[in-house]
Amino acid sequence: MASIRRTLSPVYHDRHYENGGAPFSPSSTSSSPSQKSSGKHSSSSDPKASRRGPWRRPFYQFLAFFLIGFLLGMTPYGQIDDANGTDRDRFNFEIKPPNVEESLERREEVAVDGVSFSAESKNKKEEEEDFAPRKLVIVVTPTYNRAMQAYYLNRVAQTLRLVEAPVLWIVVEGNAASFETSEILRKTGVMYRHLVCKRNMTSVKDRGVHQRNTALEHIELHKLDGVVYFADDDNIYSLELFQSLRQIRRFGTWPVAMLAPSKNKAILEGPVCNGSQVIGWHTNEKSKRLRRFHVDMSGFAFNSTILWDPKRWRRPFSHPTRQLDTVKEGFQETTFIEQVVADERDMEGVPPACSRILNWHLHLDALDVPYPQGWVVQKNLEALITVK
């Protein structure tokens, strides 16, 4: 039987084989199934290797980047200095804590005559000096039930609402406190005290005297510290008057404009001043020329400590300072002032030179007008002229 012998191809002579393997031969082909079976057997025999997958490496990378980002997010940063907006400052990323410049300015030290002190303490002292508590203005108003009472009280209340606090409005009624007056006071928005005078007032002339004395007793009892001013409800007051009251140290006075009894001309009553010094008096009524001080009841104010601390002012009288009901009408003002001051040297002109009229006493109250209960008319007014 003839045999055919095949020569090896020269193409495979230069091929490199892994692990020192031989070229293609039947033995190599025969050994490959055994190797495959042994590989399968080895892989199936290692259970840990089967659980290891391609997800472990990405998981560790994700965890590392997450921790880096978390730490960067929790890192505190300051402010980027961009004060002037120039190109140099725009690229200046110097980090400063907040409010560095303000704290440096407050802590800046100033040297005066070789003595250094902090500007912060200086500013605090200036603020404390500028902030001075305002004096309490105590406004005393006697009132009684009449047709124009609601109008008068509301007019005074609207003025007092514009005055800078603190302001205390003491309203005194006779015999009993009326419901109508209480309602008005509650709606004004002004701090008030509603008092009642229990004195038996048989004369209309003495009514205002006793009501003012009730307010003075209240101020003395509670030792209210401020400037006392008698403001009747039928007068007209400027806002500047109440603002000027806080400048009074002991006793202040000013001229008051009023209508003459004939109601056909205006007269002036009050002090003549040289600066803040009282040097004379305005008066036009012959019957009142015998008075020591020519002042209207609404033309003066005084320090409340005169009532409950007389030793401070060296007041000559030991009895309480009150208005007198035993003197003639028109002399209540001068007899009261004589208990407060000795002469014009203890007085202050308000405003300086007494050159302005701050309130008016017009005496325009209507006479013989019926007083409706609760200021409400029960019957409707009938039309006298019908509209065609």
pTM exceeds 0.85, yes or no: no
Q: Where are the domains of the chain?
A: 137-361
Q: How much of the chain is in helix, strand and coil states, percent to nearest 5? A: 40, 20, 45
Segments in the chain forming alpha helices (H): 26-45, 47-51, 56-73, 87-90, 100-106, 119-130, 149-161, 179-188, 207-222, 239-245, 305-308, 310-313, 332-340
The answer to whether residue 180 scores a pLDDT higher than 70 is yes
Name the least confident of 35-44, 78-87, 344-353: 35-44
**Could you give the CA distance from residue 257 to residue 267 in angstroms, rounded to a whole number?**
6
Average pLDDT, rounded, for the chain: 76
State the greatest distance between any 2 C-alpha atoms of the chain, in Å, as a whole number.
180
**Could you give the CA distance from residue 227 to residue 251 in angstroms, rounded to a whole number?**
9
Residues within the annotated binding site for Mn(2+)?
Answer: 234
- What one-letter code names the amino acid at 53? G
Nearest partner of 210 among 194, 196, 197, judged by Cα: 197
Average pLDDT over residues 50-76: 78
Nearest partner of 326 among 204, 209, 215, judged by Cα: 209
**Could you give the CA distance from residue 168 to residue 137 in angstroms, rounded to a whole number?**
6
Residue 90: CA atoms inside 13 Å, Cβ hemisphere, count? 3
Q: How confident is the model at residue 108 (pLDDT cuts 50, 70, 90)?
A: very low
**Could you give the CA distance from residue 283 to residue 330 in angstroms, rounded to a whole number?**
13
Between 265 and 349, whose confidence is greater? 349
Residue 313 in 3-state DSSP? helix
Residue 210 in 3-state DSSP? helix
Q: Which of 333, 338, 348, 382 is catalytic?
A: 333
Active site residue 220: no
The whole-number pLDDT of residue 162 equals 95
The pLDDT tens digits for 271-286 are 999 999 999 998 876 6
Q: Cis before residue 351, ω within 30 degrees of 0?
A: yes
- Helix H, strand E, coil C: the string for 247-300 is CCCCEEECCEEEECCCCCCEEEEEEEEECCEEEEEECCCHHHCCCCCCCCCCCE
The pLDDT tens digits for 344-368 are 999 999 988 898 899 998 877 666 6
CA angle 198/202/203 to nearest 5° reads 115
**Could you give the CA distance from residue 388 to residue 385 in angstroms, rounded to a whole number?**
9
**Could you give the CA distance from residue 8 to residue 315 in angstroms, rounded to a whole number?**
147
Q: Which helix (H) or strand (E) holds 2?
A: none
- The architecture that CATH gives domain 137-361 is Alpha-Beta Complex (3.90)
Q: Find tokens 């303490």 and name the residue.
A: 121
Tokens of residue 330, six digits: 């028109």
The whole-number pLDDT of residue 193 equals 97
Residue 260 CB contacts under 8 Å (≥ 6 apart), including other chains: 266, 267, 284
Looking at the chain, the whole-number percentage of residues with pLDDT higher than 70 is: 62
